[in-house]
Amino acid sequence: MILKALIFDVDGTIAETERDGHRVAFNLAFESARLPWQWDIETYGKLLEIGGGKERLKHYITHYKADLPQKQPLDSFIRHLHRVKSRYYAKLLASDAIPLRIGIKRLITSAHQEGVRLAIASTASEENVRVLLDTSLGQEMASWFEVICAGDMVKNKKPAPDIYLLALEKLNLSPSECLSIEDTNQGLRASYEAGLNTVITVNDYSKNQDFYRANLVLNHLGEPDLFFKVIKGNSYNKFYFDIELSEKILAMSN
């Protein structure tokens, strides 16, 4: 078997966390800090071009002329606000507000059963990645991820390839032995620049983005009784995404 590991993006790929998770938590943090800021669904879509919650806050403050409540060092204010936001995010996840995307649990389970290693490459903070994995997959399944690369572990966030390069280094594997699962153009660029083959599952925020470099673009991973829709690429007569299809993609691209 060529495939040795699957490397998953988190937000938008494992669960639809952006619109109903991170965005809502940011707004709750603004409210509790008595800031008159509100990120509606559309605005948040534009802000998603900036990867990383802290970086997104800084971009908003500097580019949207948002007034700060009092004079204080920008970076420490952002770190504080991000900590508050992360607490709200954890609460939202604990309330089961955000389901896993179709096919995720099945794919992770079969990878584990078939000896395919599991890794994470995310722009979100490590704390927020771990809370999502623990609450939505459960602690046992979360522990199957032997490598978790996230947030500030690298200097340059996606679309830079750094987080994928770190994941490959920790796995001690070459890109040709792994497949990444992403949901955005930024994630695809990061994965592609790290030398990986990539499967995309689009969502409402990313469905119109450019996925030219992807091997396969789907609406979701599908299930045996709920087939995926192929947006781009060859699904080799498969109707839901599994280890066999991952292997086929690698075999045809290496």
Q: Does 116 bind ligand XBP (CB under 6 A)?
A: no
- E-assigned strands of 22-159? 117-122, 145-150
Q: Which stretch binds ligand XBP (CB under 6 A): 32-40, 49-57, 103-111, 230-238?
A: 49-57
Please tell me what DSSP assigns to residue 137: I
The residue sitting closest to ligand XBP, measured at its beta carbon, is 53
- Report the distance separating Cα 61 and Cα 81, nearest Å: 12
Binding residue for ligand XBP (CB under 6 A) from 7, 11, 166, 249? 11
134 noted as active-site residue: no
- Report the distance separating Cα 131 and Cα 191, nearest Å: 24
**Active-site residue, from 11, 162, 183, 242:** 11
Judging by DSSP bridges, how do beta strands 5-8 and 117-122 pair with one another? parallel
Q: Does 189 bind ligand XBP (CB under 6 A)?
A: no
Judging by DSSP bridges, how do beta strands 178-182 and 230-233 pair with one another? unpaired
Binding residue for ligand XBP (CB under 6 A) from 9, 16, 162, 177? 9
- By beta-carbon proximity to ligand XBP, the closer residue of 56 and 248 is 56
| Closest separation in Å from C-beta 62 to ligand XBP | 17
Distances from the Cα of 183 to the Cα of 26, 59, 87, 132, 136, angstroms: 21, 22, 25, 17, 18
11 noted as active-site residue: yes
Which residues of the shown chain bind ligand XBP in the complex (CB under 6 A)? 9-12, 18, 22, 51-53, 122-125, 128, 151, 158, 187
